[in-house]
A and B are shown apart, each in its own frame.
Chain A
Amino acid sequence: MSGYKNIWALVEVQGGQVKSIGLEMLVGGRRLADAVSEKLVAIVMGLDTKEAVKAAVSYGADQVIVLDGNDYGEYNTEGYTYALEQLINKYKPSAMLIGASINGRDLAPRLAARLKTGLAADCTGAEIDAATGTISWTRPAYGGNTMAIVETPEARPQLATVRASVYKRGEPDTQRSAEIIEESIELPAGIVRTSIIEKIAEVAEGIKLEDAEVVISGGRGVGNVENFEMLKELASILNGAVGASRAAVDAGWISHLYQVGQTGKTVSPKLYIACGMSGAIQHLAGMSGSDRVVAINRDPDAPIFEVADYGIVGSIKEVVPALIAEIKKLKA
């Protein structure tokens, strides 16, 4: 185990754009690195990574290892695993943080199995022991009913996927500088055995759900598409994004891109307003990290009220328009 040091954060680049969850990994990694006086290293992977490298430095990296090339332009499990295995064997980091995005949760377990090391999934916190360098990862289990502390005491590197919005991005510091190391790793022919046949891109309107500080989420109780428009209006005056339960997505009122929960996205906004949803555990799993929760439901016994800071018992048809009017007044 000796010889392993420094904290790594994976920063993915897609279409020349840095993925914001990667920058959040730097924010979290910075704290761990400081606690043990080690370096924070950003691993920037993708095609056209110039802007991402700058962003990584301004979000706290002491060193940036860049892997730029066509092989990395599109995320693929086997290519990314191969390249990271090479880098990890060469530089021997003590830990690596990977965003718990769809890609991150595809990659991390494969990489952990390749390296025969431990992995903590979907973490919401991390503390490092200054003497041993072992990290205690906090993570939800049983749909968020319980939290677990897991560690990888005897293997290195320690790997984790970390939820979006656990480490909030502050202002970038553009004055910072860092050592930039350009690596080039050519993938052996035939190593990537999956291919993308078709991409069905949907352009999300407005602020991205994962990044939003306010989320207005609608469930089956919203009733129809027209009422969803009300939620969108409320979201827009609060500078937020719209979310949905599975039931609302299944009803066809909104695209699955907006689904929050176990099969959808995980959000941790400052304010989450749940409109017309019961609060099923699979939904709660995706929003339990919200700072403040408001629930609007006409059933006073709906379980969503158990996790709400403020609950309005009433119909969304009445309450939401009144909320819109009242907030408009406040903002005027």
Chain B
Amino acid sequence: MNILVCIKQVPDIEKIKIDSAKNEMIMTGVPNIVNQFDTYALETAVRIKDANPETRVIVVTMGPAQTKDALKNCLSVGADKAYMICDDILSDSDTLVTSYVLSQAAKVIEEREGQPFSLFLCGKQAADGDTGHVGPQLAEYLGLPQITSAMEISIDGNKVLVRRLTEEGAEIKAAEMPALVTMSQTEYEPRYASVKTKMAANRAEIPVLTASDLGLDAACVGLGGSPSKLIKTFVPERKKGGLKIEEETGELSAQKLVALLSDAGAI
């Protein structure tokens, strides 16, 4: 079976610092990485392939030219093939448009690969916008059942079984394939690339799909085609230098804290 993993390149949010004078994020020097939830999605797909060797894992991303690096990364840790959707008219698309474009791309890739996808995997959410919309919206455009926030996936014949967290604990959900699953954190860590797999990934040819390859109408994509508009961003006010309590002993510190909290009416 073929699995399509949708990945996104995002800035490594752990490396973002705040310029408190200007009250903005400092993005220079922040490396771009494959969105962490997407790395779990890819690892899960590759594990399915490990257990079912006839499986092919294909990754796709929509983004600017530099996202090729993210795809190479994916190729070095087990993806068989990567496609890149890249076109200037796609910039500033919201999640609805992104999902639409991905759905069109999925159909084109199926055709080129000569086989439909049985399973579509996305990350639970991308670390830039933190929306978690694209998985369910892609499922809608493709007319597929969806299961979100998976921690573990197994394949049973033509069914996908998913363990996911719920507000009450956990549950096992099933859907007949083709289906779309979004991945949360897994218990296993994604594998590392080796020098050899990195070199192979570097040599790999990554087909680029443009808006016209996907039959996209310029009016329906990008900012103009997006119903959600980003109006502005701002850095939230930080708690500037909260009070540090460093008394002689932990006991004295605790006493001081309780007095402060009680004066503030917090306890």
Contacts and interface: CB of A to CB of B under 8 A. Distances in A.
Interface string A210-252: 0000100000000000000000000000100000001000000
Contact of B130 (A122, A256, A294, A313): A122
A55 interface: no
Contacts of A139: 130
A109 interface: yes
Given A102-B167, A200-B169, A312 B130 contact: no
B239 A310 contact: no
Contacts of B152: none
A145 B184 contact: no
A200 B162 CA distance: 13
Nearest to A257: B169
A197 B136 contact: no
B254 A326 contact: yes
Interface string B225-267: 0111111111110110011111001110111011011101011
Contact of A106 (B146, B230, B234, B242): B146
Contact of B245 (A106, A141, A198, A312): A312
A301 to B, nearest CB: 11
26 contacts: A78-B145, A102-B165, A102-B167, A106-B148, A106-B149, A109-B140, A119-B228, A121-B132, A141-B128, A143-B16, A143-B130, A144-B236, A145-B16, A146-B234, A152-B228, A154-B227, A194-B179, A195-B173, A195-B175, A197-B171, A214-B267, A292-B261, A309-B242, A310-B260, A312-B250, A313-B246
B231 A151 contact: yes
B185 interface: yes
A146 B232 CA distance: 10
B161 interface: yes
Contacts of A293: 239, 242
Which are the 5 A-B pairs with shortest beta-carbon distances?
A318-B250, A322-B254, A118-B228, A118-B227, A113-B140
B250 A319 contact: yes
Contacts of B226: 118
Interface in A273-332: 280-281, 285, 288, 291-294, 300, 305-315, 318-320, 322-323, 325-327, 330
Interface stretch (B73-81, B91-99, B111-119, B191-199): B91-99
Contacts of B99: 113
A159 B227 CA distance: 11
A142 B236 CA distance: 12
A330 B267 CA distance: 10
Contacts of A325: 254
Nearest to A319: B250
Nearest to B240: A306
Interface of B: 11, 13-14, 16, 18, 25, 94-96, 99, 124-125, 127-137, 139-141, 145-149, 161, 165-176, 179, 184-185, 226-236, 238-239, 242-246, 249-251, 253-255, 257-258, 260-262, 264, 266-267
Contacts of B250: 312, 314-315, 318-319, 322
A315 to B, nearest CB: 6
Nearest to A329: B258
A145 B11 CA distance: 12
B96 A116 contact: yes
A310 B261 CA distance: 9
Given A202-B169, A310-B257, 14 more contacts: A118-B226, A121-B129, A145-B16, A145-B25, A146-B25, A194-B146, A194-B147, A195-B173, A311-B242, A312-B250, A313-B246, A320-B254, A325-B254, A326-B258
Contacts of B135: 109
A153 B245 contact: no
A270 interface: yes
Contact of B258 (A103, A114, A257, A323): A323
A90 interface: no
Contact of B257 (A147, A148, A323): A323
Contacts of B141: 113
A112 interface: yes
B96 A312 contact: no
Given A310-B242, A318-B251, A319-B254, A193 B176 contact: yes
B92 to A, nearest CB: 13
A151 B179 CA distance: 31
A196 B168 contact: no
Quick one: which of B134, B231, B255 has the most chain A CB within 10 A? B231
B130 A285 contact: yes
Contact of A323 (B11, B125, B172, B254): B254
A181 interface: no
Nearest to B103: A113
Contact of A198 (B125, B167, B171): B171
Given A106-B148, A149-B233, A257-B169, A194 B174 contact: yes
